[in-house]
Amino acid sequence: MHRSTFGCCFRRTLAVGAGTVSIVGTGLLYALENAIKVEAFEHFPHPASLPWDHKRVFGTIDMASARRGYEVYKQVCKACHSMKWIAYRHLVGNIMTEEEAKAEAAAVTVPDIDEAGNAIERQGDLNDHLLSPYPNIAAAKAANGGAFPPDLSMLLLTREGAEDYVFSLLTSYVDTPAGVKLDEGKHYNPYFPDGVISMPQQLFDGGIEYKDGTLATASQQAKDVCTFMRWTAEPFYEKKKRMFLKSILFLPLLTFVLLFGKRHAWTYIKGRKSMWKIVKGRERPKSKSS
């Protein structure tokens, strides 16, 4: 009876603990996943889930597409949007060779301070970050009708839908519907809040020419720049995915070891037996009726 009661209590406690951990863990993961994302789909269409290569279980970022995406950023997006968290050295071995990255950096002039504390301008190097198109936020707003173009370095991590949303936004400019009035300098895009956006359509068929000869349709440019933005948002995306897959493969072995350890640790308790020895002179008194 003692062993049965103990085992029942232990199993009940274990079940309650496992359930609590599961619920708390699920809630924490959901909170972390959605804590910094902008809820941008309350009153307008949700973007379709597109078949990105890196979203497959064993998929990786298409670096050829990411390299073309850098060309799109450089020739189109860079005019208004910054990527201040990306340095030229980050591009080496991923987007371009070291020589190409050095040439890219050397082509820009970087503001700096000399040893005497005087403001100077020097040639860029690999340690410099990609320059912002505007010196400050006020200048950026003044040049864009009061709207501030967001930094693109980690934009995909802050938008619900990530690359699906950005792709849909870039490729969904349409004529203003009847009855909708837009202020001067505004444009209509159903995937933007209220459908009103300050950024005009940027991607057009044949708008740029790719170095590798790929046909630069508007949708191809959008796909490539979204892939590039995924890489800038998570440079270690593939490494994280490999670690996750390895941990998943390791879980069955870990589960077996933990179960074996649990059985070994509790064997002496679950398998013990209780014995009573009656000491002479301390016997239970006999009833008077007997």
**Binding-site residues for heme c:** 77, 80-81, 199
Burial of 169 (0-12, 13-18, 19+ CB in 10 A): buried
Going 46 to 150 to 27 to 59, the CA torsion angle's sign is: positive
Going by the annotation, the residues of the binding site are 77, 80-81, 199
Strands (DSSP E) contained in 133-226 are: 187-188, 196-197
Query: What is the rounded CA–CA span in Å between residue 206 and residue 173?
Result: 17
CA dihedral 138, 141, 145, 146 (to 10 degrees): -80
Q: Where are the alpha helices (DSSP H) in the chain?
A: 2-34, 63-75, 88-91, 98-106, 137-143, 162-170, 218-233, 237-270
Cα angle, residue 129 at apex, residues 224 and 146 outer, rounded to 5°: 75
